[in-house]
Amino acid sequence: MDYRWRKTPFSQEKSRALQKKLGINPILCDLLVQRGIDSFDKAKAYFRPDLDDLHNPFLMKDMDKAVSRIEQARKKQEKILLYGDYDVDGTTAVSMLYSFLKKHHPQLETYIPDRYEEGYGISYQGIDYAVESRATLIIALDCGIKAVQKINYAKEQGIDFIICDHHLPGGEIPQASAVLDPKRGDCSYPYKELSGCGVGFKLVQALCKNWTLGDNEWRDLLDFLVVSIGADIVHITGENRVLAHYGLKKINNDPCPAFAQLKELAGKRDKQLSITDVVFLIGPRINAAGRISHGKLAVELLTSHDTQKVRKLSEQINDNNLTRKDLDQGITAEALELLQDERFLSRKTTVLFNENWHKGVIGIVASRLIETHYKPTVVFTESNGKLTGSARSIKNFDIHQALEECSELLDQFGGHKYAAGITMRKELFENFSRKFEMVVSQRLLPEQMEPEIDVDAEISLEEVNWSFWKILKQFAPYGPLNMNPVFQTNNLIDTGYSKCVGKANDHLRLVLKDSASGKTISGIGFGLADKMNIISSGKPVSVVYHLDENEYNGEVSLQLRVKDLKLSEEVL
């Protein structure tokens, strides 16, 4: 795929002023200002995350009501049902709150809806289960903010709700005992981007204050939190960045038994996990339970302290993840084969359907297709006599808005700007495909159809040194609004040692030399083997990359993790 390189804008004036205060490399100041860090105090908070900077949980609207209702349940020995979504955020949230509450209120049970039978969010089946199990309070985690009718149904059955959600509310707030959601229009909580597990965590903090418990009660839960923050792709700013920073310390130095076992299965038992490892190694394994079997397996694993049970469930979930990978790869290959048909080439969208594709992986497949066919994409399969679809978008295109214009053809849909889920009658597939293509074609601008790489700074190899890296490492953990910086370096020459590597020779191992200074550096470009002809041309090349550490035979060196490369004459 050909990328356009785009320079990230920033205020040079603010960067110069910050450099005078901090006395560090001006390029690092450029990066800070791009991230909104433009004063000494902000830089201090950024480089020295402090748990004391977390906001008072009682600043969140309805927190006092939530604590009061749980206290009532505790005094009356009511049974509480913890209800969470089947993804990583939901299952970590349920597991975290269960791990805390079980020490103080044993009348407790968990419930994760079946992805295929019940779907996302609060279900009538779940409420009926609460009735059968004689629970009188449901705490909903990572869901519930739009479940107005279902919560009314629960009230009719004598069941109260506390909602802990982080999604945007609809036009009506449910009539629950308490609705905790920082995105409520009437909520003045200072930080709006918590994960669903993060909202549950603030409830734990509030209960700790109310019950005069020590901070260690909530500090012990930070490994759950960092997994939810990473996997749910929430902003790594403000409170989330503090929680992710200390959550990584917890998961690396003192993880709960489940995370310790998952680290081992991921080949990271004695290694430090980064937020990237959490996203790509831990999160998918937990997610695989809900995709392939049932999300309740993830909660059983995450809440267990029985060594044999943890090992058995971890291996089962790891096997689910291997199955998920096989399905993902197989279905992606089938979908790519379909897209060779000429009728797809001129379209601005990709809309595919196969009744045999697995519902649990079609969202992943849609994302994979965008990597090679950069278009708004919807992938459908058949479930319970209807079409179920997962939609994924490209940068700066609102696919949810496009689906709204097709809503007369849909039974239901929901999601956000870049991802959505759809249910539709099978006979309307062709009508939807045509209407979606028309809507997207009218909205999509030509520049949106060209994939971009945002370049944060242009630097020379001379500036890539250990003192620069020592400070740059402190920019982590990375995520939305605090992404791993992308650098551009021009006029590099192949030393003759660059080559294709990997089982399929699809990666590019680079050894490059600065044509001006003569400094050499190694790099790796995953999936960039098709660029070998550019490297071997002997002409100067420009590369865009993340800076990274590489350990080989006990020696640590800096390397370039290359995202793209071009002939310098085409860039300059």
Instruction: Kindly report, residue by residue over 525-534, the tens digit of the pLDDT.
Output: 999 999 999 9
* Average pLDDT for 198-205: 98
Question: For position 87, what pLDDT does the model report?
Answer: 92
Distance CA 84, CA 92 (A): 9
* CATH number of the structural domain spanning residue 378: 3.10.310.30
256 and 352 fall within a common domain: no
Distance CA 400, CA 406 (A): 10
CB 498 within 8 A of CB 529: no
Answer whether residue 1 is part of any domain. no
312 CB-side CA count, 13 A: 8
* Average pLDDT for 450-461: 95
256: left (phi over 0), alpha (psi -120 to 50) or beta: beta
Q: Domains in the chain: how many in total?
A: 4
Decide if pLDDT at 295 tops 90.
Answer: yes
Question: For position 383, what pLDDT does the model report?
Answer: 86
- Percentage of the chain lying above the pLDDT 70 cut: 100
* Average pLDDT for 356-362: 93
Question: For position 115, what pLDDT does the model report?
Answer: 86
Q: State which H helix or E strand residue 203 sits in.
A: helix 196-210
Answer whether residue 566 is part of any domain. yes
Instruction: Kindly report, residue by residue over 28-44, the tens digit of the pLDDT.
Output: 999 999 999 999 999 99
Domain limits at 23? 8-43
- Work out the pLDDT band at 384, boundaries 50, 70, 90: confident
- Work out the pLDDT band at 414, boundaries 50, 70, 90: confident
- Biggest CA–CA distance in the chain, Å, is 78
119 and 243 fall within a common domain: yes
Q: Which of 249, 284, 318 is the last residue of a domain?
A: 318
163 and 248 fall within a common domain: yes
Answer whether residue 330 is part of any domain. no
Dihedral angle, C-alpha 97, 99, 104, 108, nearest 10 °: 70
Instruction: Kindly report, residue by residue over 71-90, the tens digit of the pLDDT.
Output: 999 999 999 999 999 999 99
Concatenating the DSSP letter of every residue in 370-427 gives HHHS-S-EEEEEEETTEEEEEEE--TT--HHHHHHTTGGG-SEEEE-SSEEEEEE-GG
- Tokens (6 digits) for 245: 């920073």
Concatenating the DSSP letter of every residue in 95-111 gives HHHHHHHTTT---EEEE
Q: State which H helix or E strand residue 67 sits in.
A: helix 63-76
Angstrom distances, CA of residue 480 to CA of 88, 193, 484: 18, 11, 9
Question: For position 342, what pLDDT does the model report?
Answer: 87
* Average pLDDT for 213-218: 96
- CA-angle at 235, arms to 229 and 239, nearest 5°: 75
- Work out the pLDDT band at 307, boundaries 50, 70, 90: very high
CB 50 within 8 A of CB 44: no
- Tokens (6 digits) for 93: 């949230």
* Average pLDDT for 331-360: 94
Q: What is the mean pLDDT of the chain?
A: 95
Answer whether residue 549 is part of any domain. yes
Number of Cβ within a 10 Å radius of residue 159 = 18
517 and 556 fall within a common domain: yes
Tell me the residue type at 338: L
| H, E, C per residue of 207-224 | HHHHCCCCCHHHHCCHHH
- Work out the pLDDT band at 56, boundaries 50, 70, 90: very high
Distance CA 362, CA 437 (A): 19
Would you say the C-alpha torsion 161, 83, 259, 361 has a positive or negative sign?
A: negative
Answer whether residue 257 is part of any domain. yes
Q: Which of 449, 477, 512 is the last residue of a domain?
A: 449
Tell me the whole-structure pTM to 2 decimals: 0.93
352 and 389 fall within a common domain: yes
Answer whether residue 367 is part of any domain. yes
Question: For position 1, what pLDDT does the model report?
Answer: 80
> In 3D, which of 290, 320, 323 has the Cα closest to residue 142?
290
Decide if pLDDT at 413 tops 90.
Answer: no
114 and 230 fall within a common domain: yes
136 and 184 fall within a common domain: yes
Instruction: Tell me how many helices (H) and strands (E) the chain has.
Output: 23, 19
445 and 504 fall within a common domain: no
62 and 113 fall within a common domain: yes
Task: Estimate the crossing angle of helix 283-292 against helix 307-338, to 10 degrees.
Answer: 80
123 and 228 fall within a common domain: yes
Answer whether residue 334 is part of any domain. no
Dihedral angle, C-alpha 483, 469, 489, 21, nearest 10 °: 80
CB 320 within 8 A of CB 291: yes
Question: For position 327, what pLDDT does the model report?
Answer: 95
Helix/strand/coil percentages in the chain, nearest 5: 45, 20, 35
CB 115 within 8 A of CB 290: yes
235 and 351 fall within a common domain: no
Question: For position 418, what pLDDT does the model report?
Answer: 87
351 and 220 fall within a common domain: no
- Work out the pLDDT band at 561, boundaries 50, 70, 90: very high
Answer whether residue 173 is part of any domain. yes
Question: For position 472, what pLDDT does the model report?
Answer: 97
Question: For position 403, what pLDDT does the model report?
Answer: 94
> In 3D, which of 244, 236, 233, 163 has the Cα closest to residue 417?
233
Instruction: Kindly report, residue by residue over 143-199, the tens digit of the pLDDT.
Output: 999 899 999 999 999 999 999 999 888 889 999 999 999 999 999 999 999 999 999
Question: For position 235, what pLDDT does the model report?
Answer: 94
Dihedral angle, C-alpha 27, 32, 36, 41, nearest 10 °: -130
CB 86 within 8 A of CB 112: yes
* CATH number of the structural domain spanning residue 499: 2.40.50.140
Decide if pLDDT at 572 tops 90.
Answer: no
Distance CA 90, CA 113 (A): 10
